Structures are given as structure tokens and as C-alpha cells.
Structure 1
């Protein structure tokens, strides 16, 4: 494939960087902080992007998108992630909830949800992982029991990002425990204000708001809440997660941080030990490989059987996240531990290191990604 994104990609990057420079504070480190203004910044910025036709850039125009290409959307992902994702939690709705709705949603679901996502009016969360079914999602225990022409859902979810600020949840539940594993699950689109939902934040090194646990006590699910078909949830989940795994351009933030630190070091760069500069070059090479693997996954994202490409890209980008975090810590020394406005890059190095520790766990552990790649290489044999 051709990895040249074209002249319009250069123009789009310039446009996005101008918007970020003008509307996002220099010390912005994401929406999940102690400062409520950071979440407010993302909400305002999403509205701005939507007004410019950029929030859902690659979505079809009939769904409220910009009608652009997947490569324009890739540029958008890269520029957003490089600047600590000023779209905030919206990337989940844009990157995979929306595409999954386009592929599996009913006409009524598309009308109800897609325009709201594309305009930045709604935040979604993902109710998949459970205390005893994080990686092995087909074994989850949350039950959806028939109730009239719908269901009543009870169970517990964990590690749910943005649940405290989301208004809708894509919820996975077991509708037929006696069925084969790949036919046990159903996906539901549930409003978070429905009776029976309880959300509790989980304290972690990632900061407030990022992780939560959810308890469901007889939450009602209606026939129109099902995404896809009852019993087809595992297939929808696999394809949706493939969208998510290529939706975070981690390599772009790594490259940005390395460039900004090198600029900040100035003449002191030449004083770094040769071993550190050799590691720096190695990291740049690995980041380029991760970028190209991500581009390959993007080129295949309309192919439902191409999940292994997304897993390979995920492996490369998450390991680069940790590689660059350690490298930047070694370059800066004890100063890398500083956080706050007076720290290097307003604390972005320390922030990146903390988030990088979870990179190989989120959205499917690196071990699971390696298994998926291995199965694909072996032609599906286990």
C-alpha cells in the first residue's frame, strides 16, 4: 500500500494545530484530572471541531460526518493524541461506537445516536470488563434475563473509563448461558440514567474519572436497545474493539514528546551519553514501524477478518509507549518525576510515564493481542 497521505493531510495537520494552539491551554494534559476546567475544555473543543466538520471527519455526511477519508481521520487521531486528546472521552464514540452503529445498528438507532455523537453532544462508555472476566470477555457473568419482550440486566462491570461522565453505555451481557461461548453474549445500548445503574470511581495512578466500577441491579433493556442481534454480541465486540485498537495514535504522542524535549534541551542534547542517544534513535525507528503498522490496520479496517492487523499495531504502539516513557525519564533524570506547571513540558513527561504503565493492559492485554496475531499466522489453529 501507499503510505503517502497526500498534500491534503499536510494542510489538515496545519489546520488542526492552529485550532489546538488557539483553543487548548499549553498545560492541558487530558480530561481526567482534578481540574473540572479540563473536561470543560474538551467539551468546548469538541463543539468547535463539530462546527468545523472535523469531529467525525471520516463519517458519511448522512450520519453527521464530514465525508472525509479514513486517512484524514487518521491525521485527526494523530494530532489529537499528540496533544493529550483535547476531544476528551469523545474519541470512544467517534472511533468505534459510531462505526459499530453504522455497521450493525437499526435505522432508528442510527437516527437516535449518530448525529449526537458527531456533534459532540454525548459521551459514551464501554461496559465490557468484569472482576472475573477482563481479558476473557466471553466468560463474563453479567446476566440479561428475559422480562416481557425485553430483559432485566444484573451484574458488575469494572475498569469502565468515563462512566462517571457518560450518558450512554455499550453494555455486554450474557443472554443465553447454555449457548456456545461465541453465542452467549448480546450488546445493549443503555442510557446511564436508567434505574438500577450505580457508578463508583476507582482510585488509581491514572487520576480521577478514568476508571470506574458499575453495578447493575435489574436494569431494563428493551428490544430496541440491542446492537446487532441477540446472541451476536461477541462478533460485534471483536470488530468494535478492532476499531478501538487502531483509534489511539499513541506513537504520535511519543514522537511529540521526544521532539519537544529535544528542543527544550537545546545545546544540552550534545552532552547526553552516547548510549542514551543510541536509544533515542532506536525509539524513533520503532515509532516509525508502529506508525506503519497502524496505517496497515487502518487500510484494512473495512475487512471484518483483519483483526490481527489491529492487534499487531496495538502491540507495537503500546510497547513504544513504555519504551519512550523510560527513555524520557532517563534523559531528564530526577526532574522527570516533577508534575505541575513548573515541570518539564508542564508535567507531560511524568503524566506520560504513568499512563504508559497501563498501555499494555487497556483494550485487551498485550498477551491476548499476541495470541490473536499468532492464531492468524497459523491460519486460525490454536
Structure 2
């Protein structure tokens, strides 16, 4: 199928299915709004899965669609254009699944990939801890092998969608005597068990898609380890590289929609006629093009070669840009931006949510350290 035909297929499918009860989902569930319409968005994920749109870029041998990068980009473009809601299955689809394809066993792929593709099991990411946020190798959650299970004790924080997740991939310390990068393991842990407690964290936006997760002698089967014991750092950094892969284009298309909203407000308020404001809006548009072209360039990484510092460069590009867009949204709104009598406006929600952009997913300071270490050759890729 040509790319043009593929685009027409995606567009027609979305037009035919994002209707009826799903029409209410258009434009919902974005950054700061992940709490919206969870039951209906769950149904929507299963609608996508049933049509084969989840796992579109996975190899066919792994149950995916085998789509080219160009076709994956087309899907993101058409999904954003149609106003598709924020995805609930993205952590499983874009983070865990590529990790299992690259590092997992055949048994793990057979067990976990089909439920991700069908949207019958959702995932969350157990990385950050209260004393180990950007310094991921400092995690203290521990796991001990006990016969045919691992026993996990510790705390994770800022865990997106943990309250709806069926499983969590957890970075835990399994060898406390080893150097901190060498004593970690990557475990797949079921959430529905007595040893797991999820507590929501209320954000500035008033929503709570982030959570604290407490593991108190939680268990998972011995075979639910990805890679070997002590191999967790290599696997976890591989996941982070996948996190900033083709899925970032979907994120940027969401950014483009937000920028269009800001431009709409500027026009309505008349500030778009001012040359100074036009320059600021133009700068934001130029910055978005830089993000897109950097993402497209890094997607040219040879197959099988995980991105290195390119992922950190991408984070340094989009985080401050998105934060500045939130500030611009408030400025073009004018004095009304200070009022929230009827709840937060889109501009206010964008501004408040983006305060965290330069912190979560690895702070800007840590990203600069990673880039410097890669350039100086002090930190190996694996």
C-alpha cells in the first residue's frame, strides 16, 4: 500500500469510528487532562486494538503491523488531525513492547504483547523514587529472589496512570553490593495484589494522573525479569530511548494543536496584529518545526541501534519550548488568565502542567550530563 493510500485508510477509519459515543472524546485526555473519560477512553483503546492500530510499528513477527516509519508518522498526523483522545495504552505500546521485542524472551513476548495490542492490559512505569528522580541509578526499591518469585519492597513516585494499570515494569535493586549501575534488574510486576498500594498525587491542575506506588513484599514470577539479574540499567535505558522514538511525533502534533489554540486566542484578542506578538508566535512556530525535524532525523538511526544522546537532545529541545508555550498562552489571554471561577481554561491548564516539563522524564540538568558523558565517552551505551 502506498503512503497516500495508507493515509486515506487511516483518515477514513477515524472519520467512521470517532463518532457516536466516541465523538465526545475528541480533543480530551491530553497533558494535564489524562484523568478525563477513562472508561470511554478504555473502550476507544479496544476499538483501536481491534482494528490493528495498536502495535502498528512492531515487527509482524511480534504481532505488529510492520508499518514503516513514514506510515507511523502518517498515523500520528491523522490521529491528531481527527482530534483523537490521549492514549491510555501508550506506555505499554511504545515503551514496554519495544523493550520486550529488543530484550525480552520469546515467552515474554507471547505472554505480554497480545494483551497490549488488544488493549486488555494497561501498563505503568516504575522508575522514579522520592530520592531517585533524575538520578535513576540511585533507586532503592529492592527485589529479592525467593524460590520461584521475586519479592519487591519500596516506593515509586510520579507514576503516570498507575491507578488504571494492570502491570508495572519496575526498576529494582537486586544486588545491593554491586555498583549502583550494575545491581539493578528490570521486573514485570502485576498491580492487582495485596502488596501494591497506589495513592494519587494532586497536581497544580487539580487532576491526579500521577501517583505514588508502594510495594510491600509484592511478588512477581521469577520469569518476569527482562534480561538477566543485574542487567536492569541496560534494559531501562533502552526503554527510555524508545520513549523518545516515533511516539514523540504524536506528542509534537499535540503541541501543534495547542499552538493553534494559542494563535486562535491571540487573534480573538487582537494581539496578533501587534508585530511584537507576531514575532513571539512566529518564534514558537519555528521552534515546533525544529522539534519535528530533529525527531525525523533521529528516527533515521539504523535499525537495531538504540538512540544515544539524541534522546536527551530531544528532551532539552521540547521541554523548554512547551513551557514557553504555556507562558505565551497566558500572556495572549491577558488579564482573564488570572481568573478561574468556572474551572481552569485550556491556557491555564497548559501553563500549570508545563511547569513540570523540564523536570519529569529526566530533568534538563541530568540530560546535559548525559550528553556530556556521551560526548566524552565516560558512560558506555550498555
- Bin the TM-score by the shorter chain: 0.7 to 0.9
Cα distance in 2 for partners of 1:31, 1:260 equals 14
CA 1:251–1:139 in structure 2 vs 1: closer, same or farther (change >3 Å)?
same
CA distance in 1, matches of 2:33, 2:350: 17
* Alpha-carbon distance in structure 1 between the residues aligned to 2:338 and 2:5: 39
Cα RMSD, aligned residues only: 3.1
Aligned residue number for residue 137 of structure 1: 136
Q: Which residue is 1:190 aligned to? A: 189
CA deviation vs aligned residue, 1:210-266 (integer Å, no higher than 9, x gap): 111111111123221101111100000001011113334433222212224434665
Pair 327,13 (structure 1): closer, same or farther in 2 beyond 3 Å: farther
Q: 1:222, 1:140 → 2: CA distance?
A: 21
Q: 1:210 is matched with which residue?
A: 209
Asked if structure 1 preserves the Cα contact closer than 8 Å seen for 2:28 and 2:36, the reply is no
Partner of 2:368: 370
Offset at 1:201? 1.1
Aligned residues of 1:169 and 1:192 also touching (Cα < 8 A) = yes
Residues 135-168 of structure 1 deviation map (CA, whole Å, 9 limit, x = unaligned): 1111111111231243321111111111111010
Structure 1 distance, partners of 2:199, 2:347, is 29
Normalised to the residue count of structure 2, the TM-score between the two structures is: 0.87
**Match of 1:170?**
169
Rounded to whole Å, the distance in 2 between the matches of 1:138 and 1:357 is 25
Partner of 2:42: 43
- Is contact 2:15-2:82 (8 Å) kept? no
Gaps of 5+ in 1: none
- Which secondary structure does the structure 1 equivalent of 2:65 belong to? coil
Distance of 1:97 and 1:182 partners within structure 2:
20
CA 1:163–1:31 in 2, change beyond 3 Å: closer, same or farther?
A: farther
Mean CA deviation greater in 267-276 or 358-367: 267-276
Q: CA offsets, 1:122-146, max 9 Å, x none?
A: 1101111111111111111111123
- Flag the 1:189–1:327 CA change in 2: closer, same or farther, 3 A: same
User: Residue 286 of structure 1 aligns with which residue?
Assistant: 287
Change (3 A) 1:182 1:121: same
Do 2:18 and 2:26's aligned partners in 1 also have CA atoms closer than 8 Å? no
| Alignment check: 8 A CA contact 1:296 1:309 kept | no
Bigger shift: residues 94-103 or 39-48? 39-48
**Relative to 1, partners in 2 of residues 1:239 and 1:36: Cα closer, same or farther, differing over 3 Å?**
closer
Residue of structure 1 equivalent to 2:123: 124
Count how many residue pairs are aligned between Structure 1 and Structure 2. Answer: 375
Q: Is the 8 A contact 1:43 1:87 kept in 2?
A: no
Moved more, 134-143 or 268-277: 268-277
The residue aligned with 1:355 is 353
Given that residues 197 and 216 in structure 1 are in contact (C-alpha distance below 8 angstroms), is that contact kept between their aligned partners in structure 2?
Answer: yes
Q: Are the aligned partners of 1:172 and 1:185 in contact in 2 as well (CA < 8 Å)?
A: yes
Give a deviation string over 1:18-48, Cα, whole Å, max 9, x none: 3685334277431798997611232122122
Task: Show the 5 A alignment for 1:271-310.
Answer: 272-300=273-301, 302-310=303-311
Counterpart for residue 15 of structure 2? 18
**Distance in 1 between the 2:261 and 2:120 partners?**
33
Query: How far apart are 1:82 and its partner, in Å?
Result: 7.2
Q: Distance in 1 between matches of 2:13 and 2:290?
A: 24
Q: TM-score, normalised by structure 1?
A: 0.87
Q: Residues 265, 323 of structure 1: CA spacing in aligned structure 2 closer, same or farther, 3 A cutoff?
A: closer
Quote the Cα distance in structure 1 between the aligned partners of 2:340 and 2:40: 20
Answer whether contact 1:308 1:373 (CA < 8 A) is retained.
yes
Q: By how many angstroms is 1:277 displaced?
A: 0.7
CA contact (8 A) 1:162 1:210 kept: yes
Compared CA separation, residues 41 and 57, structure 1 to 2 (3 A): same
- 1:268-302 CA-to-partner distances (Å, cap 9, x unmatched) read 65754221110111111111011111112222274
**Separation in structure 2 between the aligned mates of residue 132 and residue 57 of structure 1, nearest angstrom:** 37
* Matching of residues 260-271 of structure 1 within 5 Å: 260-263=261-264, 269=270
Indicate the residue corresponding to 1:332 in structure 2.
333
- The whole-number CA distance in structure 2 between the counterparts of 1:27 and 1:85 is 5
